[in-house]
Chains A and B, each alone.
Chain A
Amino acid sequence: MGSEKPSRYWKSWEEGPGATGLVQISTSEFPEPLDRPAEQFNRRSFLKAAGFAAAVAAAGAGCSRAPVEKAIPYLIQPEEIVPGVSYFYASTCGGCATGCGVLVKNLDGRPIKLEGNPEHPLSRGGLCAVGQASLLALYDSQRLKAPQAKGRIASWQEVDEQIAAQLASIRTSGGAVRVLSGTISSPTLNAEIQKFLLQFRDARHVVYDGLSSSAILDAHQQTHGERLLPHYRFNRATVIVSFDADFLGTWISPVEFSRDFADGRRIDSRSPQMSYHAQLESRMSLTGSKADRRISVEPHELGEIMLRIGARLAQLAGSAFPIAARTQDNSYDTVIEDLARRLWESRGRSLVVCGSQDVRLQILGNFINDLLGNYGATLDIERPSQQRQGNDANLQSLLDDLDKGNVAALFLHGVNPAYDLPGGQALVQAIERTPLVVSFAERLDETSALAHFICPDHHPLESWSDAEPVRGTLGIFQPAIHPLGKTRPVLESLAIWRGQPRPAYDILRDHWRGSVFPQQTIEPDFQTFWDRSVEAGYSEIRLKTSKPPRFQAASLKPFSQSSPAAGELSLVLYPKISMLDGRHAENPWLQELPDPISKVTWDNYACLSPGTAQRLGLREGDVVRLEVDIDAVHSPPLELPVFIQPGQHDQVIAVALGYGRKSTERFANAGPKWLFGGSDVDEDGRIGKNTAPMLALVGGSLQYIRDNVRLSKIGKRHALASTQTHHSLTMPRELPIVGGEHRDIVRETTIAALLAGEKKTVPVSPATNGLWPADHRYTGHRWAMAIDLTACTGCSGCVIACQAENNIPVVGKDEVLRHREMHWMRIDRYYTGEQDVDVVYQPMLCQQCDNAPCETVCPVLATVHSAEGLNQQIYNRCVGTRYCANNCPYKTRRFNWFDYVRNDRLQNLVLNPDVTVRSRGVMEKCSFCVQRIEVARIESNRVGKPIADGQIQTACQQSCPSQAIVFGDLNDPNSRVAQMARDPRRFGVLEEFNFRPAVNYLTVVRNRDSHEENSKVNQNNG
């Protein structure tokens, strides 16, 4: 990857390589610069790309439905398409219902990478791990490529005929028609569903979310008379108190929240300021791990504490509080007083969020927020969020109907009830009893397997659609590739069954012309509005604001919470950042993504606090059986390995949702197979265990917390594939090093210390004048990176972004067990403290040291230093001594132990052509995305302008939701990276050894009065 030969990226270009030739020809060849996606979109060029894609896709996906008038093959090269040059199309992420904006990077007619759309009002450039990985699902060879009727492949025509026939009879008979879907933030699709349902007498659209927040909506139904989900604005809050809401990890809209949260906590070291965040939770969540004050509480205590904070605030506000708190214990008095005071002091600039599914607690939360005047400030209910619309009460009634057999036709979209609802076998039978079950699932999953007809939907990257995650903020899905299979958008299917067949594109346009365009005021005519929106990938429209509903105090009714006896265990079912509710379980990237907290891959497990594990005599990896009584019926017992989770409450067992999907059976061959290699899946052939049977749908809401859990050891063991075996920077007690007990790898300080101007004492400053002559001056560019550890939430979006950008293979569970994961970018997680722990995250990647120990020891010059400060790895020169990896102090080098599994030709279309696919036996590592540097260099050569700061964004930096990573030229004093490198908080890992790392870290800052308070916090809770 010699920086001196940019031409090598142009091998495919018959004009021949060479930057000079490039400059001449490109002026006529390049239609628009790479860094301005807005001008990219041009329907003709897209469709031509699509045409090419059809040819490419045909290789992997066989026959493809190619409307002749739209696609042209590459018999004549269209002048817009330059092979090897990537185009960006603005679209929306289909990973979940959150609807973040993305730029789809298209190369040679196929999407090879998703990037966050920097201009999108919500996500603002960030993209989470799930979003990044959703690209891989596009090339999933196990996606359904054609409709199925009664379990066999069918043509659309016969499927449509049969469905139409049955629907006709239902129309006459007046049977009940139900559409069961997850949250649909697409206004067009919602409208279409309504239109579709209109033709039936008894029809309803039931919505539920695997990760339900319906309690919040129900609560607002009662307190504000409108079933809505507020749009939380964390950037406007100076005090954030979260009751078990994992808003940085999996709660509603993590990318947006992460950015807002980080923006509220960006430290300008000259005048340090940051918001205060307290987290009360029973397990260790990603959000809790970033809290300034984290209090681990028993799940049932949550309500009690909320009550008392509410009461205290009411007292401060001098208003009535109808609920009497049971004040027999005063263990939390200090906490409550402190939090109440802080909240009260920053009225209107504070925010209380609650992740509980208990409507009464949510009402309490609304009361507190209203009392503090946060509505309209930090909670927006004029333009509420539509990212969670699930209504569990409706779901419950639907399930009853199904059970009674009252439903004539059931349409399933984007949900998998047979898997993620507690109903179990009963529900399965109920669905089977239903006369007509139609599923729009992209894959054959637990539920679609039961359906009579499967009418597979497009992948979001194949389809026209839209999204309105927040009222007034609309996103557009535009296809980035021609459909790989004979799938069909739901919009079209519904239209056809309504008897008015039309292409999805027209349906979408018409809906926008009819419903969206009139609401906006900027653009005079629809076509411009439409083009602008499609170009940008989103559109914000000024809604004529009606008066927002007010809080009705009457809704606050007394209640008392039963708290379980001491020592009794309750089960907390939580979503993992990678798996969520299991919707992406078949995605190997996400399966192999280490959980930010536990660092475990390829599994779910029973998290126990160290104390409880000790009390029960359990070690990590011991398999335990969990049993819960579900309304006096024994749930099927759950057998899971134990994971010991510091910071978790002693009376809690936390288990992740989303595992044990049938689709994970495909991973039996995820990794290399050899003589003594182990299995990549569990005994039952799947990854992890399904915990949905443990859920409870009671009182009109899905409950994720169960009491009276019985835990028993069954004497088996199950190895957990963890990528980190030692979890703290404190050395093991049995190896006492006087003075070296704690390693100064990550530095922490408090806002108070910063205000006091206290400098963290640097142990040893790197030798500035060594013995050597300065033979290597970095004139010209000098690439470097800066990572703000205060902003980093450990969300791991960067890890997957890097995997997608750099063709990093998936190695499978057995290889991870052998400590051979391949991620170039990893998030090191360290605990400090004993009972209540603090957590620090440290993204760790190749530090591109100036004095790189790896380079000196390579016998064959396979890793050398570039003139721009890059530590280059030359794959085809590497013989694989692994000496460099041994000698790397940061252990960021990865070795190709095997030829990794790449036999899925369709899946291989996701590979980035700009990055070599490494062969067996060579070393690899982070390259600072050198291919992006080269693209920028070519571009600057072309336009004859120097590379601007921020023009090059590494994959990890681009997707970071909290903007913690900055890459740039250290020799440019005004570049952001240079500025951050001058920040007093800056430190380099192990720089006392004079490795001269090019990655600068900024000290973790916590909003605390002093280090002492930290320890005080640790005493008075837990």
Chain B
Amino acid sequence: MSDTSAQPEVHHHGPPQAFIRKYVFSLDHKVIGLQYYGLALVAVFIGMVLSWLFRIHLGWANMAIPGLQLLSPNGAPGGVMTPEYYLSLLTMHGTIMVFFVLTNAPFAGFGNYFLPIQIAAEDMAFPRFNMMSFWTTFVAFLVLMAAFFVHDGPPISGWTAYATLSSVGKAAGPGEALGQDLWIVSIGFFCIGQLLGSLNFIATTLDLRTKGMKLARMPLSTWAWFITACIGLLAFADLLPGAILLLLDRTAGTSFFSPAGLVVGDVVQPHSGGSPLLWQHLFWFFGHPEVYIAIIPAFGIVAHILPAFMRKPMLGGMRVMIGCMTAAAFLSYMVWGHHMFVSGMNPFSAITFSVPTLIITIPFTVATLIFLGSIYGANLRFTSASLFSLGFISVFISGGISGFFLAQPSIDVYVHATYFVVAHFHFVMAVAAIFGIFAGSYFWMPKMVGRMMDETLGKLHFWLTFIGVYCIFMPMHYLGLAGNVRRYAAFTDNYMIPLIPVHKFITIAALLTGAAQLIFLYNLFHTRFWGPIAPENPWEATSLEWSTPSPPPFDNFGGKHPVVYQDPYEYGVEGPQDYVMQTAPGKVTAT
């Protein structure tokens, strides 16, 4: 089955024995992947609780939330949230979710675990850099969490940290003192961690593939991770200098982003000549590719999982899906200005950014149509993993549709900075990408921990979550159409007050849906200790991770070097079983 002479021995290191080396400062990509996943799990829980807190405040503005004064006596005296604390919680929610959940779990988490296995490499190309990348990210997380505990509290400028609110320092308001500095430092560390990660993904994909694993035979999940790593390389390399310049404006008196003549609270600021728009350009040049970093791995994971549960390959094979992901990644660098249509930049640029933004809808539409067309004629099997994958298609459609509106400046002029935008990005990121993470979790948990997850609990988790997310985020579109402005701590404008009941509905839906996630947490915990033992290939799937034990041995394939003969999604073939593993030699007769 595998040819041991296929490649020379590439042992990076022997299996570690000491606890610290094995579980803490591990060089093993599988451990590192699990560490990232674990960090993302902690982060998503914190981010979710933050959203409950500030959403409760939106629905019931004067309510005292018991215990909140313990977290911040200044921010919530007597448990009643102040407007600045609302903004702090909102800022931290966005930052934690975008960076530590959506960039970590689908890309660094699953990618680190499965990319080497899916190409039958023993480990990532640079295990020490890989370890450093996780621990740098971990330090970034700690620095960010520290912002909760400084005197002035976490920053209030949103995850986008627009200058001059973020660049003038303390004078701008509570939260804009040490909290903002810690935020910037955290982001800086995060960039470095991600760059080290991207380095590993790219080098490993290009150079450590096993014999027979041509690029076109890599599974779509590996393709997605590779493309994401390429995007991330340039994106994070742009955010890091931006963050440094912002920190200098705040601490060293420079004027990159702060113009002359600023008078904050009757005090003239010493800056001169800086451009607040410069920050926006630097940020969104990173920021837009970043959201594609969040979605493309989820896309790849779903595209990888669905064939196993449809028992047929994707319509159009590898090329169409790879083409869609590559086109989207490439175009993602040309559209950043669509976040800035009304920012004060030259209105003519709005049109030049709008065109590629609308064009980007094409590869995503084609990919969605391919998903739909692939289901036609399939033998659909329903498991938690496949339900979340099918759900992904639905929520991705819902989220993508609102993109058509936002891409046009003449409509954005009305819905910019309203809940319409909040609806759009939550659907594509908080829902679709999370569905991808859930699908991957249910699909790969048996391989990672060697035990099967409870399917009944998984399916219950799916139904509750699927209904819940629509209840939470669909109404936000209507709020936006009614002109409900975002990042408001309370609604005191005449035309927004009648919308508060909708906010209450959304908050209740959010609390219930959040509670439903406990089912997933419980399932994870229960599986780890008491789940039934998982076979090597419980889903009858074809890719390389299913031709090694659950969980895989230290060097992934137990000393063997698998040779690949088949394309990754040979399902629906004739013969005693309806699939052919990638490692099986011979020619495949498709039906």
Q: Do chains A and B interact in one complex?
A: no
